[in-house]
Amino acid sequence: MDTTKVLIVSLTSVVFLVGILVLLYMAYNSLSKKMGEEQSMKIGRIDTSLYSVIPSAEVIKPLDGYNYSFLMSMRINNFYHNYGYWRHILHTGTDIDSKDVLEYPFEGEGIDNWDTVIGDFPDQNPGIWLHPTKNSLRLVITTEEFREGYYPEHAHPETVFKAKDTTELEETKKIINTVDIPDIPINTDFKLAFSVYENNVTVFLDGKIRNIFTIKGKPYENIGSMYIHKNKTYSGHINSIELHPKVLQDKRIKEF
């Protein structure tokens, strides 16, 4: 076999090998994308007339236990429905008794009963509520802060005590972080999305970044169920929800 034939055979083999590698790469990307879609949790339309509970076993959890992206399309038809009360949209975490009616009236800027809300629902990751008197949504992220140190063994920590009266203790304190998202569209569909990445939460409204805020502590590793539209709630519906167990790229969220 002369040099020309050897070269042709070699080039043909290289082209064939490259073609195989390209096909394998395309198949891998397709499979990875499909697996990623399968891992996300997707929910269709839910009217406010329907109280829904997604069991904990069906609520997809962050792959690393903490970081995730949440995308939701919804519509508020009648802003004045249950006006004057904190209106529950959804939360994942603290259980709700099916017989309970969530009555948290707004009595003024000094008495808004929000402390009662978070007292009853300390575990919300995430939680979304409609403000009693404003077209504003409140996003809730419960986090945990690990503490250790020396604490007095007796019942009065403000009392002077000696070192021998103390003991080394470890405790985990829960912190409820909130951010308000104002100027929510009424009587029209809108899209709310946010990503939790370490101590940062990025909030999107209709594909545009509305807020970036820092949370204190580490996001609470939530194993609770998701509760949607528990009375008292707003008048309208959720078009769709997507819960992804990892942080999506901004481009993907803007295209939602």
pLDDT-derived band at 219, boundaries 50, 70, 90: confident
The percent of residues above 90 in pLDDT, for the chain, comes to: 64
pLDDT of residue 85: 97
Highest mean pLDDT pick, 8-22, 45-59, 217-231:
45-59
pLDDT at 46 over 90: yes
Q: How far is Cα of residue 60 from the mean position of the Cα atoms in its chain?
A: 11
Cα 206 to Cα 16, 109, 128, 149, 218, distances in angstroms: 47, 29, 16, 45, 28
Reply yes or no on domain 42-254 having CATH 1.10.287.3510. Answer: no
Cβ–Cβ < 8 Å for 218, 211: no
Cβ–Cβ < 8 Å for 136, 182: yes
How many CB atoms neighbour CB 133 within 10 A?
14
Altogether, the residues listed in the chain come to a count of: 256
CA-CA distance, 140 to 176, in Å (whole number)?
A: 7
Cβ–Cβ < 8 Å for 238, 45: yes
Domain ranges in the chain are 1-39, 42-254
CA-CA distance, 107 to 69, in Å (whole number)?
A: 34
Mean pLDDT of 51-63: 95
Instruction: Give the pLDDT confidence of 28-39 residue by residue, as tens digits.
Output: 555 444 444 458
pLDDT of residue 32: 47
CA-CA distance, 112 to 101, in Å (whole number)?
A: 17
pLDDT at 103 over 80: yes
Structure pTM? Answer: 0.78
Cβ–Cβ < 8 Å for 165, 152: yes
